[in-house]
Chains A and B, each alone.
Chain A
Amino acid sequence: MRELLRPIAFATAACLGLAVLLGWGKPAAVVGLFLVSGLAVGSLYALGGIGIVLLFRATGVLNLAAGAIGAVAAFVTWQLGDWGMFAPLTWVAGLLTGVLFALAYGRLIAPGLSWREPVIKGVASLGYALILLGLVSFLWNDDPRKLSFPTDAVSLSILGLKVTVTRLIVVLAAIGIVIAITVALNRTRIGLQMRALANNRRIASLVGVPILRVETVAWGVSGLIFGFTGLMFGSLVRLEPAVITFMVIPCTAAAIAGRLVSLPTVLVAGLAMGVIESLLTLADTFKAVRPMAPYAIAIAVLVVMNLNRRLTFAGDD
Chain B
Amino acid sequence: MTKQLKLAATALGLILAAGAAQAQVTCGANTGTAATGAPILVGGIHGNAAPGDFSASTQAAAAYFACVNANGGINGRPIEYLVENDQWNPELAAQAASKLITDQGVVAMVGNGSFVEMAVNARTYQDAGIMTMASACAVSECFESPSIVSTNQGPLASTIGAAQYMVEAQESKNISCIGLAIPNVGPWSCGAMEGYMASKGLTGSSVYLNPASPDVNSGLLEAVASGADTILVNLPAGLALAFMKAAEEQGMVEGYKWASSTPLYDRSVPAALSDVWDGRMFVNAELTPWDKGGPDAINWLAVLDAYAPDAPRDTFSQSGFVSAKFFVQAMLALDPAKLDDRAAVNAAIKGIVGYESDLLCGPYYVGEADRHMPNHAGTMVVVKGDGFETVRDCYEYDSPYFAPIFENEKALGLN
Contacts and interface: CB of A to CB of B under 8 A. Distances in A.
The reply, when asked whether chain A contacts chain B directly with Cβ atoms under 8 A, is yes
Given A146-B272, A281-B222, A41 B237 contact: no
B50 A242 contact: yes
Interface in A269-293: 274, 277-278, 281, 287-291
A41 B215 contact: yes
B334 interface: no
Nearest to B216: A237
Interface in B6-28: none
A141 interface: yes
B114 to A, nearest CB: 14
Contact of B217 (A40, A243, A291): A40
Given A162-B251, A290-B210, A37 B218 contact: yes
Given A142-B53, A281-B222, A290 B237 contact: no
Contact of A274 (B52, B215, B241, B269): B215
Contacts of B250: 161-162
A60 interface: no
A164 B217 CA distance: 12
Contact of A37 (B210, B217, B273): B217
Given A37-B215, A290-B213, A291-B213, A146 B245 contact: yes
A30 interface: yes
B391 interface: no
B272 A247 contact: no
Interface string B212-224: 1111111101100
Contact of B50 (A145, A241, A274, A288): A241
B237 A164 contact: no
B251 A44 contact: no
B388 to A, nearest CB: 14
A38 interface: yes
B414 interface: no
A141, A146, A250 pick with most chain B CB within 10 angstroms: A146
A30 B268 contact: no
Contacts of A240: 51, 238
B208 interface: yes
Main secondary structure of the interface of A (DSSP, over half): helix
B215 A38 contact: yes
A152 interface: yes
B210 A288 contact: yes
Contact of A145 (B53, B216, B240, B268): B268
Interface residues of A, number: 43
B218 A162 contact: no
B225 interface: yes
B167 interface: no
A242 B50 CA distance: 6
Given A37-B221, A238-B238, A281-B221, A144 B272 contact: yes
A317 interface: no
A243 B216 CA distance: 13
Interface of A: 30, 33-34, 37-38, 40-41, 44, 133, 137, 141-146, 148, 152, 155, 161-162, 164, 167, 233, 236-243, 247, 250, 274, 277-278, 281, 287-291
Given A152-B249, A240-B238, A242-B51, 17 more contacts: A34-B218, A37-B221, A38-B218, A41-B217, A142-B53, A144-B266, A144-B272, A155-B251, A233-B214, A236-B214, A240-B51, A247-B214, A250-B214, A274-B215, A281-B221, A287-B208, A290-B210
Interface of B: 49-53, 181, 208, 210, 212-219, 221-222, 225, 237-242, 245, 249-251, 266, 268-269, 272-274
20 contacts: A30-B221, A34-B218, A34-B221, A41-B215, A41-B217, A44-B214, A144-B241, A146-B241, A146-B272, A161-B250, A162-B250, A162-B251, A236-B214, A238-B242, A240-B51, A274-B215, A289-B210, A290-B218, A291-B210, A291-B215
Enumerate the 10 nearest inter-chain pairs by beta-carbon distance, A residue then B residue, closest first: A144-B237, A37-B217, A281-B218, A291-B213, A237-B214, A143-B268, A242-B50, A41-B215, A146-B272, A142-B52
